[in-house]
Amino acid sequence: MTNNLDSNTSIKDHYSYPSWEKLKSLALSWDENLTNLFAKDPKRAEKYSLSVGQIFLDFSKNHIDEDIFEALCEIANDAKLPAWIQALYSGDLVNNTEHRPALHTALRTPELCPSEKQAEVKAALEKVETLVNEVHTGQWLGHTGKAITDVVNIGIGGSDLGPRMVVTALKAFKNKSLEVHFAANIDGADLADQLEALNPETTLFVIASKSFSTLETRENALAARRWLLNFGCKHEQLQHHFVAVSSNISAAIEFGIAENNILPMWSWVGGRYSLWSAIGLPIAFALGFDNFRRLLDGAAVMDRHFHDAPLKENMPAVLALLTFWYSSTQGYESQAILPYAQRLNRLPAYLQQLDMESLGKRVNHNGNPLDYNSGLILWGTEGTNGQHSFHQLLHQGTRKVLVDFIASIKPMSGLDSHHHYLSANCIGQSQALLAGKSFEQAYEELLESGKTEDEARKIAPHKVIPGNRPSNTLLLEQLTPESLGSLIALYEHKVYCLGVLWDLNPFDQWGVELGKQLGMKIYPALTSGECPDSWDSSTRSLIAKLGATGK
Ligand code: F6P
């Protein structure tokens, strides 16, 4: 019988887990069709769904049955996932290559984490609250004595993507007296476009950089400083316009930021897990401190669930096990994130860093090459825009793509009929992936539309949609700080689980270093026009072309 999932490829991944052979044989003998699974079990949707706080997950449209689900949970136990979860919260050195804990949970669920972090976290949050209140109430003044009207967050990667995504998503909770902007790229157009519309008298810059050594952030911060000085702000007045968030206090002071204006970051919080720390300052500026607090509370709901729930009911673990299943037994390499909520349009970009910077690894915890695939390629955009773009490939392409649909039950605008169309399209897409369209259906449709039998036979194959393609659907009661906090924490913990299942460290990112280092060597070659002969001819020719136009 044909294996519906993977008729052409054999399983190439290899794991030493005792349950792996069992899972593999279940995968090889699997011949069920999703439509049949639903027909056989009217309670399937109920059986394969979970609720945590304001989040509901329907994972029934997946190629699993009780045996497979059971075997996946056995794999999780073989990988000692429950112990790893406890290790995360206990502050064990789960980031083994940098000898650090990863205690982002301590920022929102301190009661589950080591008590010595609590005072530091509390003090940092108090500093965020004070600063935000000073700006919101007009007590913080620019160098000419005017209240601040605009904040520009200068940071990149984890010091940009999370705060930017949250501020965009929670527009409905925005503080009306302050505009928050973001500049990340080393392309000067990014900062220049922001500055164009801003007044140096009333603009506050947040220099957000855990390391305070990131090229993009340093150059944008220097440009912001020049902008203020050119306007007439004196050196000693710059403190009215700069605050920093960093774990490198001395570098921030050296840059010229008053010590009192520096908020802490810690080595035990990874950059891409840091929006809950003072790196979330732009969130608190944009939405008010109370809403920032609500975001943390939402994450805490997911943290407690992840900490306490048994594997089968553990939402992050279940999502991770599903990804593990498809990746390791059916060759899936791609994951689409499709939020059917306009204001979650930055979510895919945020999750790209969270997921791909964490899981894009080629060796295990001990440094040995992996015998299996690790992180998937994650991408996506907001629905329904994606439907008019890449959904064609999801429905009829030959590539295998995992899909997470995300929708809000309550609308975010007063346009109710829009919301029903939006929701209908979200459900329609997952139903189309599941059910597809057979040759017979396509043929009949063509006849009904007036085509001859001959024409219908020729066109029908092009209209066949195979279906039987999996998806998850996540529903938020409403897009609120609480539900968003839970959603982000859900994906953070899913990534952690995959790190455990794939036996890799999801908290380092050594792979990003080489390109940056080479860029630093190429910069002088570009500006001087002098290039070592030992460099390859492509690099030398590109330097000659870009160097010439850059002068
Ligand atoms: O590009 C890698 C990276 O280190 C990310 O992990 C990090 O979020 C980003 O750069 C920014 O780093 P920093 O906050 O230290 O400026």
Are 143 and 189 part of one and the same domain? Answer: yes
Q: Name the strand (E) or helix (H) holding 220.
A: helix 215-231
* Mean pLDDT across 448-460: 98
> Ligand 1, atom 10: nearest CA belongs to which residue?
157
pLDDT band at residue 413, thresholds of 50, 70 and 90? confident
Give me Rg for the CA atoms of the chain: 26
Question: Of 156, 186, 351, which is best to mutate to test ligand 1, by the most ligand atoms within 8 angstroms of its C-beta?
Answer: 156
Task: Tell which of 295, 317, 332 closes a domain.
Answer: 295
Active site residues: 357, 388, 516
* Res 12: pLDDT: 85
Are 346 and 425 part of one and the same domain? Answer: yes
**Is 84 contained in some domain?**
no
CB 522 within 8 A of CB 541: no
Are 163 and 151 part of one and the same domain? Answer: yes
pLDDT for residue 1 is more than 60: no
Are 425 and 367 part of one and the same domain? Answer: yes
Helices 66-78 and 81-90 pack at an angle, to 10 degrees, of 50
* Res 412: pLDDT: 87
Task: Tell which of 295, 319, 339 closes a domain.
Answer: 295
Are 168 and 271 part of one and the same domain? Answer: yes
Are 151 and 62 part of one and the same domain? Answer: no
Are 488 and 528 part of one and the same domain? Answer: no
3-class SS string, 271-330: HHHCCCCHHHHHHHHHHCHHHHHHHHHHHHHHHHHHHHCCHHHCHHHHHHHHHHHHHHHH
**Is 301 contained in some domain?**
no
Are 124 and 222 part of one and the same domain? Answer: yes
Task: List, for residues 11-60, the tens digit of each pLDDT value.
Answer: 888 999 999 999 999 999 999 999 999 999 999 999 999 999 999 999 99
Task: List, for residues 468-480, the tens digit of each pLDDT value.
Answer: 999 999 999 999 9
* Res 157: pLDDT: 98
Are 288 and 337 part of one and the same domain? Answer: no
Q: How many domains does the chain have?
A: 3
**Is 8 contained in some domain?**
no
pLDDT band at residue 3, thresholds of 50, 70 and 90? very low
Task: List, for residues 363-388, the tens digit of each pLDDT value.
Answer: 999 999 999 999 999 999 999 999 99
Share of the chain above pLDDT 90, in %: 95
**Is 262 contained in some domain?**
yes
Instruction: Judge if the beta carbon of residue 159 lies within 6 A of ligand 1.
Output: yes
Are 335 and 479 part of one and the same domain? Answer: yes
* Mean pLDDT across 241-260: 96
**Is 103 contained in some domain?**
no
Helices 66-78 and 481-501 pack at an angle, to 10 degrees, of 70
Task: Tell which of 295, 329, 348 closes a domain.
Answer: 295
* Res 549: pLDDT: 53
pLDDT band at residue 416, thresholds of 50, 70 and 90? confident
Are 67 and 212 part of one and the same domain? Answer: no
* Mean pLDDT across 353-363: 98
Domain span holding position 222: 114-295
- What's the CA-to-centroid distance between 506 and ligand 1, angstroms? 14
Are 486 and 525 part of one and the same domain? Answer: no
- What's the CA-to-centroid distance between 221 and ligand 1, angstroms? 15
**Is 71 contained in some domain?**
yes
**Is 484 contained in some domain?**
yes
Task: List, for residues 298-346, the tens digit of each pLDDT value.
Answer: 999 999 999 999 999 999 999 999 999 999 999 999 999 999 999 999 9
**Is 525 contained in some domain?**
yes
Predicted TM-score (pTM) of this structure: 0.96
Report helix, strand or coil for 62. coil
* Summary mean pLDDT of the chain: 95
Instruction: Judge if the beta carbon of residue 217 lies within 6 A of ligand 1.
Output: yes
The CATH code of the domain that includes 377 is: 3.40.50.10490
